[in-house]
């Protein structure tokens, strides 16, 4: 008999091979901690939204407009409570591979709810070096769009004016439409980020 897990061709005497049972057990070992951690998420005590902000577009949220608990977290917690903690218990079930996948999916979703999705890594230092070599000076409007698309940062016109006023940034060409070197704007942005930490 072959293991029923997708892309696993190991020989097995049950529906899961020894390696897949071991992998599933590692996932199952995470369940008790996640069930406990989800209590905070369910109660929405991990909500770090600034005071006075709302999830909608402007204005304070209406009383009673949101669920008093995080229903997604509650459902995942209930799902995880239904899981058998011993991976060997699944090996004789013909749906073992599907159940293992479902358990992994629940655990991954629970981890995201508890700790939030991973932030994508942005290499700002590498971006500045590339920009210095390839990006010509630009007026503010074009520069803001370019920085959003190429460096994945948002810079406002007010930011640029403030950096010029403080001497962190200098226009290449002055006049009705001053232009700025993108790598110098990135340096000013990075310096400002450090100051705010």
Domain containing residue 78: 18-50+65-115
Query: Is residue 8 in a domain?
Result: no
Domain membership flag for residue 59 = no
Domain boundary (81, 98, 115) is at 115
Both 40 and 97 in a single domain? yes
Residue 127 pLDDT:
67
Q: What pLDDT, in 10s, does the model give residues 116-173? A: 766 667 776 776 666 666 778 888 889 888 888 887 888 888 888 888 888 888 888 7
Full-model pTM: 0.52
Does 129 share its domain with 108? no
Gyration radius of the chain over CA positions: 26
Convert the pLDDT of each residue in 168-197 to its tens digit.
Answer: 888 887 777 889 888 888 888 888 887 766
State the Cα–Cα distance between residues 167 and 181, nearest whole angstrom: 14
Q: Are residues 129 and 169 in the same domain?
A: yes
């Amino acid at each position: 008999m072959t293991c029923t897990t997708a892309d696993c061709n190991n020989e097995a005497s049950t529906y899961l091979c020894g390696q897949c049972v071991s992998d599933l057990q590692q996932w199952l070992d995470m369940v008790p901690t996640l069930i406990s951690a989800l209590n905070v998420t369910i109660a929405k005590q991990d909500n770090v939204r600034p005071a006075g902000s709302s999830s909608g577009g402007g204005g304070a949220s209406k009383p009673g407009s949101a669920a008093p608990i995080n229903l997604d977290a509650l459902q995942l917690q209930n799902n995880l409570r239904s899981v058998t903690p011993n991976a060997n218990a699944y090996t004789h079930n013909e749906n073992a591979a599907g159940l293992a996948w479902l358990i992994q999916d629940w655990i991954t979703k629970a981890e995201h709810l508890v700790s939030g999705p991973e932030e994508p890594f942005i290499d700002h230092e590498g971006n500045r070096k590339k920009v210095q070599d390839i990006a010509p000076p630009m007026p503010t409007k074009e520069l803001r769009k370019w920085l959003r698309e190429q460096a994945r940062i948002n810079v406002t016109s007010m930011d640029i004016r403030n950096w010029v006023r403080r001497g962190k940034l200098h226009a290449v060409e002055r006049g009705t439409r001053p232009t700025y070197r993108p790598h110098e704007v990135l340096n000013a942005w990075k310096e400002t980020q450090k100051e705010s930490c």
